[in-house]
Amino acid sequence: MANCDSIFKVFDEDIILHDTRRDSLKKSRKALRNRIKEYFKEEKPDEIKPKFYGQGSFMMGIAINPIPKVVTEDGKEVSKHKYDVDDGIYFIGKESERKAVQTYHNWIWDAVDGHTDTPPVDKNTCIRVIYHDGHNIDLPIYFLVKGDDDAVPQLAHKSKSWLDSDPREFVTWFTGIADAQKKDQLRSLVRYMKAWADYQNNSSGTSKMPPGMVMTIWAAENACYNERDDVALRDTLQAIRDTLTDAFECNRPTVPAGENLLDDYKYEEYFLGRLDAFLESAKQAVNETNQKTACGKWQTHLGPRFPCRLAEDKDMGARAYGTPAIIQENAKSA
């Protein structure tokens, strides 16, 4: 059968967040942190000083280079890279020191206003800082009761007040699964799925794929490991499809545990159609004997960034691929 593992490895190198971009985003994050610290030092000297904790895909090593979006500025077309970075802001103190949700939102908004040319956005879950090159830094705000070993961070949510939420625990949960593998295949699988979603979102009009956190949980809970990335992805897609046949849901594995992250998702039929089509092509690609033909089947769903220029246009023989997938204990068999 056609082996596209080497092509996937090159694709992974293309989509992974490169060191130059990572360093640039870290620099943006550090500048924001310093600005917020200075604001509280000068404007709120008697209030609890904020602490910071990075969260999201940036911290887990699964952030990808998104497909650039072309926009028109001053009559010229320019490319924007829609990176999203999450940086949690924590206020740790006594319960009696806790302020209202909107108070914290106002403080952080005031602290970062003027940092970029675009005014920050006060969202329900965070303050968003928007940069000219297209990337955003989201600043969710948490309060943690000091001295209470059982306390969990609570998110300052504008419409739902204080909500138990611990992104740090999610990072620990994911990295524990990913780092337990001898090779770092889970992170690659997540990046492939996020790249698939990115390409579909750029090609599908108004319908949208589930967010990256959902893709991350599905991949982690259904990962089927294999010495070949193409086989591992096919089997993982099958395991996810089997799981969704029972119920179309994605339950958060950490605080607030059991929360269905798809409660507000409106495109179930669209997504399942995309998943079924991708899975069928994945099966055909793995069984294909011509590497170039197989590569084209993957590229249909992953987009032109998938490097079929590297594929050989020759019959590799109808050899059965007999190495079994290494399936997680909590994953369904493909």
Is 166 noted as a catalytic residue in this protein? no
Rounded Cα–Cα distance for residues 56 and 329 (Å): 25
Concatenate the DSSP letters of all residues of 66-79 into one string: PPPEEEEETTEEEE
CA 196, 200, 206, 207 dihedral sign is negative
Residue from 23, 46, 74, 86 carrying the catalytic annotation: 86
Residue in the structure block whose two tokens are 């109808």: 318
| Cβ-contact 53, 100 below 8 angstroms | no
> Which of 14, 84, 110, 122 is the catalytic position?
84
**Amino acid letter at 245?**
T
Tell me, yes or no, if 198 is annotated catalytic: no
Nearest-angstrom CA–CA distance, 232 and 69? 30
Assign 146 to helix, strand or coil.
coil
For 93, list phi and psi in degrees, rounded to 5: -170, -170
The structure tokens listed for 205 are 């009009």
Structure tokens at 56: 């999201």
N- to C-terminal Cα distance for the chain?
Answer: 18
Q: What does each C-alpha distance from 156 to 111, 216, 317, 321 come to in angstroms?
A: 17, 24, 59, 51
* Tokens read off for 129: 């800082």
> Rounded to 5 degrees, what are φ and ψ at 79?
-95, 135
138 is catalytic: yes
φ/ψ of residue 84, rounded to 5: -120, 125
Supply the DSSP symbol for 205.
T
Identified catalytic residue from 138, 166, 229, 235: 138
Give the C-alpha distances (Å, rounded to integers) separating 59 from 53, 76, 168, 171: 10, 35, 10, 7
Q: Give 152-163 as a DSSP string.
A: --EEEETTTEEE
What amino acid positions are annotated as catalytic residues? 84, 86, 138
